[in-house]
Amino acid sequence: MTDRAWRPAGALAFLVVLAVFPQVFTNATVSTIAVDTLIFAAAAVAWNIFSGYTGYISLGHAVFFGAGAYTVGIAARAWHTNGDAVFVLLVPAAAVAGGLAVPLGLIALRVRRHTFVVITIAFFFIAQLTATNLSVTGGSSGILAPSPNWEAATFNDPFYYVALGLLVLVTAGSWLIRRSRFGLQLRAIRDDEDRAAGLGVRTMPVKLTAFVISAVVTGVAGGLWFFFIGQAIPQFAFDPLFDLSVVVMAFFGGLGTISGPVLGALVIEPAQQWLTLQYSNEYLSEILLGALFLLVIIGLPRGVIPTAAELVAKFRARRQAVPGAAAGDMAAGAAAGAADGDADGEEARAAREAAREAGR
Amino acid sequence: MTAILRADGVSKAFGGVQALRDCTLEVEQGSITGLIGPNGSGKTTLFNTMTGYERVDAGDVWLGDRKITNLSPQRVFALGMGRTFQLTRIFPRLTVMENMLVAAQHAGSGRARNPLARAGGRADRRRAAELLEFAGIARHADALADTLSYGQRKLLELSYVLVAAPAIVLLDEPAGGVNPSLIHHLSDRIRELNAAGTTFLIVEHNMDFVMGLCAQVTVLDYGTVVASGPPQIIRTDPRVLDAYLGVTEEENEEPGEHPAGAPGGGPAGEPGQEPEEDHDVPGR
């Protein structure tokens, strides 16, 4: 059975595990961490759709996260929304984040690399300062979320399943985009933007579309997070640690892959939350997050998923190369070798290709 | 004799350096035209200005009867002019096939309107596969472009430019750094494509390659066209020898060539505009 055939089955099994998780682990602390993790996983996948595919590293996605949070807060206050209906406000949260991404993208996407990163950081500070100084956002004391009177034992469940739905949608979107024409254009831009333009790729609209899609999902994640946490104040709704976390998650799992950011979030977010609870010290997890980032950049620059996939492929290629394989295989191998006059090279190439396939 | 591509009095300066000075060049429809000149004579700059990668300071560029001066590279490509780069530019982290499809989507069929459709429809993939077969790199279709050798990258770049079926292709040093048997393969491919109707303009330092392939050769020096004509005349033009070929020509000279070549010694194909002597006035 090939990798390809296993993958949908694996994804489905994983989904089933996530779906029954809150039924099995009913402890409030565990389910709180689980909701938080799913929200961050969705945000990391969204970030990866833009930054992972185009290579434009954004450190300003907290702008959209915070915008989503405040949108839900302001709308709920203005329209006296509570209970399940608050989830409907994720729609305006998406719209505001997406609407904000258009002008910001038009400005920032004119420049590349370091300059782009610096501009996104500037956006971040502008957003945080704005939220601190406006009266509609409640200034430095922020804004409170409506508190639904759900049953205590299953209080986290609605949040959990909405977050899971968001994660499933954005991951499916990420997969769809990656294999599409649009995704190919994004990845061509990552490799050589000018060359892509020279081959007819309309780079600005393509980059901007990815930026807006990414912002919309991040805004929804922010709105959900706000409703879950219960309040938004400027330094937490627009949190530099949000950007750092999302970036580390994507890098850890594998930048530009589909499953990488999900894996990164599943490992890093619970660890962070657990450390904070265990030692009741927020800074410890921040220091460790920084240290982990360094380790990933130095030791696994391509991330866990691509590196692991390559190791597996190498291992398989070596096993296949060992004599004693079925006669049919040997004949095929000999034929391939004869055709190329270079069996080793062919084998290495097959390994690389398998690795690339698996890395998706 | 219709010109498919015409640079008309193009000038371009980078700071104090006048890279192109009132440069006029015509590429005839269906021809393989060579563009030669010493290093720094402005060949690549001329390519860049004609394909939209640099803006001209003065002058115009025409593709057929359409003015394409200062259009974006993407517009120029859409209008049917493709190019390769001196330092080959492929997409290293895409597979060879994906590299082909980046350009193919432009040639797009109706489904090209749906951006979420899977990259590369059946027709695009078939055409891409044919071109890879033609270039001789089909068996690497699923490998990352990163893993190709230097010569294979050159072939890939040529192939993906061809995917969009451009009317004219500009090649910047296609034979540079490529081994002799591959050069042979390359010139055969260019000849076949030309026979099928594609026009070529080629910058190249390998004289055997240029002289063997091109019906017309234009010579640049200090950003100005100093001569233009069939290879056998270019070989003997004193200004060309002075600017560029001098040493090469002495080595390659064949006795029978002079009388047959150019009775008047005149540069037959000199573009009408202005015969420039100012190549001894340094532009820098």
Averaged pLDDT, B76-95: 87
Number of neighbours of residue A217 by Cβ within 10 angstroms: 29
Same domain, A298 and A312: no
Cβ–Cβ under 8 Å, residues A100 and A120: no
Same domain, A321 and A245: no
Kindly report the three-state secondary structure assignment for every residue of chain A. CCHHHHHHHHHHHHHHHHHHHHHHCCCHHHHHHHHHHHHHHHHHHHHHHHHHHHCCCCCCCHHHHHHHHHHHHHHHHHHCCCHHHHHHHHHHHHHHHHHHHHHHHHHHCCCCHHHHHHHHHHHHHHHHHHHHHCCCCCHHHCEECCCCCCCHHHCCHHHHHHHHHHHHHHHHHHHHHHHEHHHHHHHHHHHHHHHHHHCCCCHHHHHHHHHHHHHHHHHHHHHHHHHHHCEECHHHHCCHHHHHHHHHHHHHHCCCCCCHHHHHHHHHHHHHHHHHHHHCCHHHHHHHHHHHHHHHHHHCCCCHHHHHHHHHHHHHHHHHHCCCCCHHHHHHHHHHHHHHCCHHHHHHHHHHHHHHHHCC
Same domain, A331 and A190: no
Rounded Cα gap, residues B62 and B46, in angstroms? 13
Averaged pLDDT, A141-164: 84
- The pLDDT of residue A107: 92
Lowest mean pLDDT among A189-203, B100-114, B246-260: B246-260
Q: Which of A162-166, A290-294, B113-117, B179-183 has the highest mean pLDDT?
A: A162-166
Rounded to the nearest angstrom, the minimum Cα separation between A341 and chain B is 14
Same domain, A90 and A185: yes
Number of neighbours of residue B75 by Cβ within 10 angstroms: 14
Same domain, A190 and A335: no
- The pLDDT of residue A261: 92
ipTM: 0.73
Closest listed residue to residue B41, CA positions, set B222, B262, B238: B222
Task: Assess if residue A5 is contained within a domain.
Answer: no
- The pLDDT of residue B259: 41
Residue B147 to residue A183, Cβ atoms within 8 A: no
Task: Assess if residue A8 is contained within a domain.
Answer: no
Averaged pLDDT, A197-214: 90
Task: Assess if residue A2 is contained within a domain.
Answer: no
Averaged pLDDT, B109-138: 74
Could you tell me the two tokens for A9? 């089955």
Selected for mutation to probe chain A from B102, B113, B137, B146 (highest A CB count within 10 Å) is B102
CA B97, B102, B105 angle in degrees (round to 5)?
110
Q: Does A180 touch chain B (CB under 8 A)?
A: yes
Cβ–Cβ under 8 Å, residues A181 and A160: no
**Nearest-CB residue to A188 (from B51, B94, B118):** B94
Residue A184 to residue B98, Cβ atoms within 8 A: yes
Same domain, A271 and A314: no
Q: What is the mean pLDDT of chain B?
A: 77
Q: Which of A287, A302, A317 is the last residue of a domain?
A: A302
- The pLDDT of residue A352: 52
Answer yes or no: is pLDDT of A38 > 90.
yes
| CATH code at position A171 | 1.10.3470
| pLDDT tens-digit readout, B237-273 | 777 777 665 554 444 444 444 443 334 334 443 343 4
Length of chain B: 284
Per-residue pLDDT band for A69 (boundaries 50, 70, 90) equals very high
**Backbone torsions φ then ψ of B144, nearest 5 degrees:** -65, 140
Averaged pLDDT, B85-109: 79
Per-residue pLDDT band for A52 (boundaries 50, 70, 90) equals very high
Phi-psi region of B52 (alpha: psi -120 to 50; beta: other; left: phi over 0): left
Cβ–Cβ under 8 Å, residues A97 and A215: yes
Work out the end-to-end distance of chain B between its first and last CA atoms, rounded to an integer number of angstroms: 37
What is the tally of structural domains in chain A? 2
**Nearest-CB residue to A199 (from B102, B120, B143):** B102
Task: Assess if residue A14 is contained within a domain.
Answer: no
Answer yes or no: is pLDDT of B166 > 50.
yes
Lowest mean pLDDT among A10-19, A21-30, A74-83, B274-283: B274-283
Rounded Cα gap, residues A235 and A163, in angstroms? 23
Same domain, A103 and A29: yes
Averaged pLDDT, A77-106: 89
Which residues does A3 contact at the CB level (< 8 Å), separation at least 6?
Answer: A354, A357, A358
Work out the end-to-end distance of chain A between its first and last CA atoms, rounded to an integer number of angstroms: 18
Same domain, A113 and A208: yes
Residues 240-269 on A with a CB inside 8 Å of B are none
Q: Does A4 touch chain B (CB under 8 A)?
A: no
Rounded to the nearest angstrom, the minimum Cα separation between B84 and chain A is 10
Same domain, A133 and A257: yes
Strands B168-172 and B216-221: unpaired
Answer yes or no: is pLDDT of A314 > 50.
yes
Residue B105 to residue A191, Cβ atoms within 8 A: no
Per-residue pLDDT band for A39 (boundaries 50, 70, 90) equals very high
Give the predicted TM-score (pTM) of the model: 0.79
- The pLDDT of residue B238: 78
Rounded Cα gap, residues B204 and B114, in angstroms? 40
Same domain, A351 and A234: no
Strands B216-221 and B32-36: parallel
Length of chain A: 360
Residue A181 to residue B117, Cβ atoms within 8 A: yes
Task: Assess if residue A11 is contained within a domain.
Answer: no
- The pLDDT of residue B280: 40
Per-residue pLDDT band for A332 (boundaries 50, 70, 90) equals very low
Answer yes or no: is pLDDT of A215 > 90.
yes
Cβ–Cβ under 8 Å, residues A28 and A228: no
Q: Does A185 touch chain B (CB under 8 A)?
A: yes
Same domain, A313 and A201: no
Q: Does A302 touch chain B (CB under 8 A)?
A: no
Per-residue pLDDT band for A30 (boundaries 50, 70, 90) equals confident
Lowest mean pLDDT among A83-87, A121-125, B106-110, B163-167: B106-110
Cα atoms found within 13 Å of the Cα of residue B159, Cβ hemisphere only: 30
**Backbone torsions φ then ψ of B67, nearest 5 degrees:** -80, 125
Rounded Cα gap, residues A259 and A246, in angstroms? 14
Rounded to the nearest angstrom, the minimum Cα separation between B77 and chain A is 6
CATH top class, domain B3-90+165-280: alpha beta
Q: Which domain holds residue A247?
A: 19-302
Q: Would you call B197 helix, strand, or coil by DSSP?
A: coil
Could you tell me the two tokens for B217? 């050769």
Same domain, A354 and A237: no
- The pLDDT of residue B281: 38
